[in-house]
Amino acid sequence: MNHLKIIIIGAGIGGLTAGLTLKRAGYTVEIYEKTSEIRPAGAGISIWSNGVKVLNSLGLGDEIAKIGGQMDRMEYRSHTDKLLNQINLNPVTETVGQRPYPVSRTELQSLLLNAFNNNLETVKLNAQCIGVEQNTQGVTAYFANGYQTSADLLIAADGIHSQLRDYVVGHPVELRYADYVNWNGLIKINPDLGDKNTWVIYVGEGKRASMMPIGNNRFYYFFGCPMARGTIVEPDYRQRELKSIFARWPSPVQSLIENLNPQELNRLEIHDLDPLETIVKGRVALLGDAAHASTPTLGQGGCQAMEDAEILSRFLLTTNLGVEYALKRYESERKERTSTLVLKARKRADMIYGKDPHLTQQWYQQLQQETEQDVTNALSKTILGGPFH
């Protein structure tokens, strides 16, 4: 289909990647973002090879490589500092044909934003979409500032707290609390913290602490601990909170907590979404977290948003049966993959965070028996299930 005008709501990873794939397909794309400045939530993110391949296809391969970390190994250690497992990640790269790149979120967001913005098209800020209407001819988006605009289709890439999700699904949808809190941030690499090319994960007591190398000699670190819903801890007290939760954990974890910048330490309750019965309504499609928010235990949420963008533009470009037909094909192609990953990530979160302590203990045992081949197979299977095999 030629000459489509497309509205995208939300300029996160999903909205911006969709903007790029759809511009590449030759369409007119407008992105509307509610904030006045595009500031990503969270410090780092791992873009696994399936996501990197989407960026490669957009001509952004060299740029993501520049900001990416050199993650050669993955190491599991117990909270008593026993080495449980050490896996070389290069066989995964060999199998799937592309390195993963853990990156700073701010740098990834800038990369995507700069690639999208040019003289003609720039993301429209301060534009909060409050509703949509559609008929057989097109779709209209309404904004809080009174503005309205129409197009052939609209993509709601408005994140986990999507305002447009209920409209698409046809009834109110509740997020599900995953029963744990995540803390994350960035820190300069130094030898007290760990090896600069290793992703280290400390596990024990149904909690975890981890450091992952990103570009420019930094670790993206994160902690997780089961917790009841609704706890609020102000930035000044978060370091103390971590000290108490991870007391007596190994010295790199202590050194991390001691040296992190408390003012840049994010703390958030983790939620996900039960698989939705539909992610498309006529000319409106959900994309990214709006469609399938996941716990971050597989590191696939952002990568799936990128895959959504790729598949959506392919189906629009390769049919002449109309927008609604293309969106239905997008839905049937994406629903199974994303639902499977959301549920897999949820199961993994439950195992990591001790929902059933017996299963968590079993997992600690299993980690010691996992071979490089097991890990390579598991990671490659997820990656090769994406649009670029």
Where along the sequence are the contacts to ligand FAD (CB under 6 A)? 9-15, 32-35, 42, 45-46, 127-129, 157-160, 163, 182, 184, 288-290, 296, 299-303, 305
The 3-state DSSP composition of the chain as helix, strand, coil percent (nearest 5) reads: 40, 25, 35
DSSP, collapsed to helix, strand or coil, labels residue 164 as coil
Q: Which is nearer to ligand FAD, 206 or 386 (CB)?
A: 386
- Reference 275, options 331, 343, 333; nearest CA is 343
**DSSP string of 30-61?**
EEE-SSSS---SSSEEEE-HHHHHHHHHTT-H
Q: How far is the CB of 89 from ligand FAD (least distance, A)?
A: 14
- CB nearer to ligand FAD: give 34 or 281: 34
DSSP state of 263: G
Pick from 389, 281, 301, 384: nearest CA to 341: 301
- Say how far apart CA 189 and CA 46 lie, in whole Å: 17
Min separation Cβ 275 and ligand FAD, Å: 15
* Closer by beta carbon to ligand FAD, 43 or else 257: 43
φ/ψ region of 83 (left if φ > 0, alpha if ψ in -120 to 50, else beta) reads beta
Nearest distance in Å: CB 17, ligand FAD: 8
Min dist CB 40 to ligand FAD, Å, is: 7
Quote the least distance from Cβ 297 to ligand FAD, whole Å: 9
SS3 readout for 335-365: HHHHHHHHHHHHHHHHHHCCCCHHHHHHHHH
Strand partners, 280: 285
- The edge-to-edge listing of strands for the beta sheet with 153-156 is 28-32, 5-9, 153-156, 284-286, 280-281
Token pair for residue 197?
A: 């090319």
Q: Shortest Cβ distance from residue 102 to ligand FAD (Å)?
A: 7
Longest C-alpha distance within the chain, in Å? 64
Nearer to ligand FAD, 288 or 354 (CB): 288
Judged by beta carbon, residue 1 or residue 51, the one nearer ligand FAD is: 51
Give the nearer residue to ligand FAD in terms of CB position, either 250 or 386: 386
Nearest approach, Cβ of 308 to ligand FAD (angstroms)? 8
CB-nearer residue toward ligand FAD: 220 or 246:
220
Provide CB contacts within 8 A for 280, sequence distance 6+.
Answer: 168, 286, 327, 328, 330, 331
1 vs 351, which CB is nearer to ligand FAD? 351
Bridge partners of residue 101, in order along the sequence: 47
Please say which residue, 1 or 158, places its beta carbon nearer to ligand FAD. 158
Query: Quick one: tokens of 173?
Result: 């949808």
d(C-alpha 208, C-alpha 203), whole Å: 5
Task: Write down the least CB distance from residue 349 to ligand FAD, Å.
Answer: 11
Q: From the CB of 15, what's the least distance to ligand FAD, in Å?
A: 5
- The nearer residue to ligand FAD, 8 or 84, going by C-beta atoms, is 8
Q: Residue 371 Cβ, how far from ligand FAD at the closest point, in Å?
A: 24
Question: Strand 28-32 and strand 5-9: pairing?
Answer: parallel
